[in-house]
Structure 1
Amino acid sequence: MMAWREAAISVLVVLVYAVQTGAWDALDNYGADPTKVSVSGVSSGANMAVQLHVAYSSSIMGVGAVAGGPYYCAQGSSNKAFYGECSTIGNGNNIDVQDLIDDTDAYAANGKVDATSNMASARVYIFSGTEDTIVPTAVVKKLKNYYDHYVNSASDIMTKYDLPAGHGFITTDYTNACDNNFASPNINDCNYNMAFEILNHIYGGNLVDPGSGTTLNGELLWFDQKPFFPYLWKINPFYMGMAYTGRIYVPSGCSSSNSGCKLHVALHGCGQSTYSVNDQYYMHTGYNEVGELNNIIILYPQGFPNAWYSNPLGCWDWWGYTNSQYATNEGREMVIIKQMIDRILE
């Protein structure tokens, strides 16, 4: 049985590799504002967003986390990530936030994450739905406790725990019932514009709300993620942790190479990459509309469902499937996404 399973995985990965090896445009440079870079995500994307913020806090000024736990919650353990205190059966009681703070401080002392003093002025948005049975609110509140330690002003941390939402990204009108839990495409209609609320809080509260009639006059582009990959991923698809292509929405006011626009990285959750839901995450979560009206470039890195990595849903690495330094500036996915950010800032 194991030999059959490994053979099937091998065929699947190689087939996907063959499909993806076409030529795609390189990620362009847009001269975005290096002081206005932010990141958000849902589920595994929330955990990755927090990791990116902590590791690169000198250059990422804000973070939005939807249904995610505190930094380094899994501590390298898939059991903690999926079967323990960080998710489904977790009630938050077994998460020692002080232990995670100590880990963060130790990483900072060793240069594996940026100085934690950078987080003092961070803008943070944290969400948990009351009907979420995948990552309970008690776990998400531990993320709030974590940021309370580092962020100076309580008003810089926005929380929302009162919406009867299940596990997924929340929108005004797309697509699942509000209380659905992890039903594809993991996007729930709760009459709440989460993309706007995240970005509006991060960028100071004065953004233009897109409403329902916003026209997208910018460009939604494919780009090649391969140039940012480590060597092993480039030559051996069995070890690939991210897709070969990503997406980026460039608002009509941000197309020049010295745009000065803001930049936001929007990270999908498990089961939400293009392989699982096609265009639904980057077309229907509402980020593009907010970006268009407020000159915010939206970057959508794409994960890859690779069973060889025990990651069949294409989750972002928040428990160590790519390498032991996954939550630091030596994490493979972390380095790749940071290089994408830097390219857009050029």
Structure 2
Amino acid sequence: MRTWLAALCVVVFPFLSHAAPVALQNYNADLSETSMSGLSSGGFMAVQFAVAYSALVKGVGIVAGGPYFCAQGDVDIATRKCSCTGLPVISSCEVAPGSTSIEQLVDITNQRARDGAVDPTRNLARQRIWMFSGTLDSVVPQPVMNDLFTYYRHYIGEANIRYRNDVQAEHAMPTEGFGNPCAELGKPFLGNCGIDGAGEILKWIYGDQLRPKNTNGLSGRLVEFDQSEFFDDRNPERHGMADRGYAYIPASCDKSINGACRVHVAFHGCRQNAEEVDDKFIRHAGYNQWADVNSIIVLYPQTTSTFMRNPKACWNWFDFERDDPDYANKNGRQMLAIRAMLDRVAGVTLPPDPAPRCFTAANAEHVIAGRAHGWFFMAMANGSNKLMGLNNFLSVTTLKQVGPNHYVVGKCI
């Protein structure tokens, strides 16, 4: 029996191998039907992406997340007021009703929309939002999710929002039959709550026309793809993402059949990436069973841990490396990578990169303009992280832009 089960896993879930990942393919997906969801930092990331690219996203599922730009680029706010994840003794949890400063976040959202950093907020009105917050959640307590509901109500009618906040669940993605007991906290952060969270998300977003999930063997395939090609510097780990991601491709969406398919992006939570929990989130969160019979491609992009700044492999919802001032905007590095993945599965052909632009200015002026960032008393170029010298108005550097928010020290030739 063990031998048979092992063989089945190899056939149905080949991504467990250590072979080199392949390039993500074009499946002619319909991007107007794009949706996403996430747990914990993945929930914050789903909200962040869906606000920044609101013209693209049809609906969002959030489990234990929070409002857009909740952390405001400050790890202290992220761990005290948007969650209870600070170091014991050193950091106290200050989560309370209204602690995320919703009115301020709404003002920031509106200003960024006026500046073009995020899509116009009028797009949010058509999004379908599904929210879940366990009454026992000790990591992202319910007041944060309640604030998220208040945030959304500034833009979205209540009829488009489904909020489940009456289940005795800890910090986990709710499932019908896999994972820890619903009230237990711990890896793989899947809670056996008798609730098909993935199914409820997809049904709320796409409506009752979805066919019932496949309860037998899946007909599609899981692919392991190279995430490095979605970063200008080909170094995803520098930006908190792993070198490989995963995607479930239903048979109806396979390129050889050329079906018109939707795309759902499933953002895992902190310590829930493949390096931490292997295939448990990808295989057991519940998305694949619905995707298999409803022509939905499920992207499972992956993070990785970075020493000190992001040891739990969270998504970048608080600028953990202090080098991406656009992290919550359309030009954030992880945001651009996810958008590029969506473009790839849809077969979108991007225009060629414009000729490199050069900027010669004082280092402090580069930092103010968002081309560089401060590091102690020094300045470092965004993207390449090249040391430029002292962060002052006397030291002058020429920066060459080689990609969105990516600069190198040099001259244009």
Provide the TM-score with structure 1 as the length reference: 0.89
Q: CA deviation at 1:92?
A: 2.8
2:135, 2:166 within 8 Å by CA — same for their partners in 1? Answer: yes
Please give the residue correspondences for 1:271-282 in structure 2 after superposition, counting only pairs within 5 Å. Answer: 271-282=271-282
Q: Give 1:64's aligned residue.
A: 61
Deviations 1:267-324 (A, max 9, x none): 000000011001111001010001012111100000011115x111110001112412
1:261, 1:296 within 8 Å by CA — same for their partners in 2? Answer: yes
Is 2:199 the partner of 1:199?
Answer: no
Deviations 1:156-214 (A, max 9, x none): 11110011110011101111010112x01111100100000001001123322327x23
> Any idea what SS the aligned residue of 1:35 has?
helix
1:230, 1:332 within 8 Å by CA — same for their partners in 2? Answer: no
Deviations 1:214-239 (A, max 9, x none): 321000110111100131726xx5x2
1:176, 1:189 within 8 Å by CA — same for their partners in 2? Answer: yes
1:108, 1:115 within 8 Å by CA — same for their partners in 2? Answer: yes
Q: Among all aligned residue pairs of Structure 1 and Structure 2, give the percentage whose two residues are the same amino acid.
A: 41
Matches of 1:46 and 1:150, distance apart in 2: 18
2:228, 2:234 within 8 Å by CA — same for their partners in 1? Answer: no
User: Which structure has the greater CA radius of gyration?
Assistant: 2
Is 2:217 the partner of 1:215?
Answer: yes
By relative contact order (CA 8 Å, sep 6+), the higher-ranking structure is 1
**Bigger proportion of residues as helix:** 1
Distance 1:306 1:202, change over 3 A: same
Is 2:180 the partner of 1:180?
Answer: no
Structure 2 gaps of 5+ residues are 1-16, 85-92, 348-413
Matches of 2:224 and 2:316, distance apart in 1: 23
What amino acid does structure 2 have at the position aligned with 1:267? F
2:169, 2:182 within 8 Å by CA — same for their partners in 1? Answer: yes
Matches of 1:69 and 1:129, distance apart in 2: 14
Matched positions, count = 319
> Any idea what SS the aligned residue of 1:126 has?
strand
Q: CA deviation at 1:34?
A: 1.8
RMSD: 1.6
Q: Give 1:6's aligned residue.
A: none
**Bigger proportion of residues as strand:** 2
> Any idea what SS the aligned residue of 2:251 has?
coil
Distance 1:162 1:206, change over 3 A: farther
Alignment counterpart, residue 104 of structure 2, candidates 99, 106, 131: 99
Matches of 2:51 and 2:158, distance apart in 1: 18
> Any idea what SS the aligned residue of 1:306 has?
coil
Is 2:49 the partner of 1:52?
Answer: yes
Structure 1 gaps of 5+ residues are 1-19
Q: CA deviation at 1:106?
A: 0.9
Matches of 1:227 and 1:60, distance apart in 2: 23
Distance 1:22 1:230, change over 3 A: farther
Q: Give 2:331's aligned residue.
A: 330
Matches of 1:23 and 1:312, distance apart in 2: 25
Is 2:314 the partner of 1:311?
Answer: no
Is 2:71 the partner of 1:74?
Answer: yes
> Any idea what SS the aligned residue of 1:150 has?
coil
Please give the residue correspondences for 1:235-274 in structure 2 after superposition, counting only pairs within 5 Å. Answer: 239-256=238-255, 258-274=258-274
Provide the TM-score with structure 2 as the length reference: 0.75
> Any idea what SS the aligned residue of 1:325 has?
coil
Matches of 1:325 and 1:180, distance apart in 2: 36
1:275, 1:305 within 8 Å by CA — same for their partners in 2? Answer: no
